[in-house]
Amino acid sequence: MDMHNPAHPGEVLTGWIDDLGLSVTAFSQHLGISRVMLSRILNGHAAVSADMDIRLSEALGTSPGFWLRMQGQRDLWEARQRAEERQPVARLAA
C-alpha cells in the first residue's frame, strides 16, 4: 500500500492551538515547555517525543500515543522517500 505524504504532527497541532485561541507562548507555558521547543515542533523542525505525547494528551484530551503514531507515520514516509535515493539493502538468507 502506498502511503501519501502524512502531515507532521506540528501542522495538526498548529490548527488545534488556533482553534483554542491560544498563543504559542501561552500553550507552551501550559505544557511546561519552552516556547522554542513548541515552535520547533509546530514548524516541523523537531519530532514529537513520548514525553510530549503525554503532555499533549493531558492538555488536549487525546489518547496517549495519538501524537506518537502521527509522528511515526511521518517518519516512516520520510524514510521511504530517502530509501528510494540509495542502494537497496540485500535480504539475508536464513
Check pLDDT > 80 for residue 3: no
Query: By three-state DSSP, how is residue 41 classified?
Result: helix
How confident is the model at residue 90, as a pLDDT? Answer: 94
Q: What's the mean pLDDT in 46-57?
A: 98
Q: How far, in Å, CA of 30 to CA of 77, rounded?
A: 31
How confident is the model at residue 4, as a pLDDT? Answer: 86
Percent of the chain with pLDDT over 90: 95
Residue 67, all three cell numbers: 501524537
Q: What's the mean pLDDT in 63-84?
A: 96
Check pLDDT > 60 for residue 1: no
Q: What's the mean pLDDT in 58-74?
A: 98
Domains with residue ranges and CATH for the chain:
9-83 (1.10.260.40)
